[in-house]
Chains A and B, each alone.
Chain A
Amino acid sequence: MSNLLPISKREITRLRGRFTGRSRLFVIGIFAVAVILSTVIYHQDPVISKSIYNIGVFPNGPHIADERFNVIPLDSLPDAERKLEQKEIGLYIIGDRVRDRPDDRSQYTVGALSQYLERQELLRISDQYDVDQAFPLRIEIHHMAKDSEVEHFDVYSQPSLSDILQEDTESLPSLELDPPALPEPSAPDPESIYTQTEPSIPMDPAPIPGPSQGAPSADPIERASDSAVKEQLKDFINDNGMPEFKAEFASDEEIIIPSLLKPPIPVSQVLIAFFYVVPIFFVSIFFTSSFMEEKTNRKLIILMSAPITPFQIIMGKMLPYIGYSFLAIIAITLALGGNVLLALAIFIPIMLFIFSIYLMVALLYRTFKDQTFFSMMAVWIVTAYLVAPAMFTGVNELSYISPLTLAVLMYRGESFGLSEYLLSTIPMFLVFFVTMLAAVRIFNEEYLMGYRPLYRKLSEAIYLIINKSHLNISMVYMSLLLIPVVFMVQLASIVIVFKLSLGIALGIMFAISIVTEEIVKSAGFIVLLQNRMITSLKSVVVLSFMAALGFWIGEKLLLFLTLRVMSESLFIEALFSSGVFLIFPLVMHFITTCTVCLLTKRWGIKFYPVAIIAGALIHAAYNLFIIRGAL
Chain B
Amino acid sequence: MNSFLVLIRRELRSIRKEKTIIFAMLIQFFIAMFSSIMLMGMMSFYDPTTIGENSPVSLKVGVVGHTASPITYFLDQKKNIQVERYDILDDAEQAFKSEKIDAIMSIPSSEGGIVDMDLFLPESDTESTIILMALNDPLKNAEEYLREQNGINMNFTDIEGKSHTSYEFLYAIIIPLLMFFPALIAGSIVIDTVSEELEHKTLDTLWAAPVSLNNIFSSKIFAAIATALIQCVLWIILLRLNTFDVENFGNVLCLSIIIAAIISFGAAIIGLYYKDRERAQFVYSISLLLATGLSYLLDPSPFNLITRLATGSQYVGFSEVAFYLIPLTAISIIFFFTSKRLAAAKA
B109 touches A34 (CB 8 A): no
A147 and B23: CB pair below 8 A? no
Stretch at the interface among A177-185, A515-523, A599-607: A177-185
| Interface members, chain B 64-116 (any A CB < 8 Å) | 64-73, 76, 87-90, 92-93, 96-99, 104, 106, 108-116
Question: For residue A216, which residues in chain B have a CB less than 8 angstroms away from its CB?
Answer: 150-152
Q: Let me know if B121 and A377 touch, CB within 8 A.
A: no
Minimum distance in angstroms from A335 CB to a CB of chain B: 19
What is the bound-complex CA distance between A219 and B147, given in angstroms? 14
Of the residues B31, B152, B171, contact of A212 by C-beta under 8 Å = B152
Which of chain A's residues have a CB closer than 8 A to the CB of B20? 369-370, 373
Our pick among B130, B153, B155, B195 for the contact of A395 (Cβ within 8 Å) is B130
A165 touches B34 (CB 8 A): no
Instruction: Please state if A180 and B110 are interface contacts (CB–CB under 8 Å).
Output: yes
B119 contact set on A, CB distance < 8 A: 139-142
Restricting to A35-52, which residues have a CB under 8 Å from any CB of B?
Answer: 37-38, 41, 46, 48-52
Q: Give Cα A30 to B92, complex, Å.
A: 63
Kindly state the interface size class of chain B when it binds its partner: 35 or more
Q: A37-B294, A134-B147, A370-B18 are in contact. Are A108 and B161 (CB under 8 A)?
A: yes
Residues of A contacting B283 in the complex (Cβ-Cβ under 8 angstroms): 23, 26-27, 30
Q: Is A245 an interface residue (CB 8 A)?
A: no
Which residues of chain B (23-44) have a CB below 8 Å from chain A? Answer: 23-24, 26-27, 30-31, 33-34, 36-38, 40-42, 44
B148 contact from A26, A209, A371, Cβ within 8 A: A209
Stretch at the interface among B204-212, B234-242, B249-257, B274-282: B274-282
A499 B53 Cβ-Cβ under 8 A: yes
Judge whether B304 is part of the interface by a CB distance below 8 angstroms: yes
**Residues A188 and B65 in contact in the complex (CB < 8 Å), given A129-B152, A367-B196:** yes
Q: For residues 95 through 149 of chain A, which have their beta carbon under 8 Å from a beta carbon of chain B? A: 96, 98, 100, 104-105, 107-115, 117-118, 121-122, 125, 129, 132-149
Roughly how many angstroms separate A590 CA and B98 CA in the complex, as a whole number?
Answer: 43
The interface centre, meaning the residue of B72, B192, B193 with most chain A CB atoms within 10 A of its CB, is B192
Main secondary structure of the interface of B (DSSP, over half): helix
Q: Cα distance A440–B34 when bound, in Å? A: 33
Chain A contacts with B in 169-198, Cβ cutoff 8 A:
172, 175, 177-178, 180-182, 184-185, 187-188, 190, 193-198
B129 pairs with A264, CB closer than 8 A: yes
A263 and B162 contact, CB distance less than 8 A: no
Contact of A136 among B114, B128, B287 (CB under 8 A): B114
Given contacts A143-B128, A217-B113, contact A165 B118 (CB under 8 A): yes
B318 at the interface (CB under 8 A from A): no
Residues from chain B with Cβ under 8 Å of A138 in the complex: 114-117
CB neighbours of A483 from chain B (8 A): none
Contact A143–B122 (Cβ < 8 Å): yes
Partner of A165, one of B106, B110, B274: B106
Residues of chain B within 8 A (CB-CB) of A368 are 192-193, 195-196, 277
Is there a chain B Cβ closer than 8 Å to A312's Cβ?
Answer: no
Mark each residue of chain A from 367 to 395: 1 if its CB lies under 8 Å from any CB of chain B, else 0.
11111111011001101100110011011
Question: Do A188 and B42 have beta carbons less than 8 Å apart?
Answer: no
Q: Which residues of A contact B304 (CB under 8 A)?
A: 48, 50-51
Chain A positions within 8 Å of B73 at CB level:
205-208
**CB of A324 within 8 Å of the partner chain:** no
Please give 14 more A-B residue pairs, beta carbons under 8 A apart, in addition to A134-B152, A198-B87.
A18-B278, A34-B290, A48-B303, A49-B171, A98-B156, A111-B167, A112-B168, A118-B154, A132-B114, A180-B110, A188-B66, A296-B199, A369-B193, A377-B27
Chain B residues in the interface with A (C-beta under 8 A)? 15, 18, 20, 23-24, 26-27, 30-31, 33-34, 36-38, 40-42, 44-46, 51, 53-55, 64-73, 76, 87-90, 92-93, 96-99, 104, 106, 108-126, 128-130, 132-133, 136, 139-157, 159-164, 167-168, 171-173, 185, 188-189, 191-193, 195-196, 199-200, 274, 276-279, 281-283, 285-287, 289-290, 293-294, 296, 300, 303-304, 307-308, 311-315, 347
15 cross-chain CB contacts under 8 A:
A41-B296, A50-B304, A52-B311, A70-B315, A109-B164, A111-B163, A121-B155, A121-B156, A138-B117, A146-B97, A193-B88, A263-B46, A285-B281, A371-B277, A387-B34
3 closest A-B pairs by beta carbon, nearest first, are A110-B161, A203-B68, A391-B41
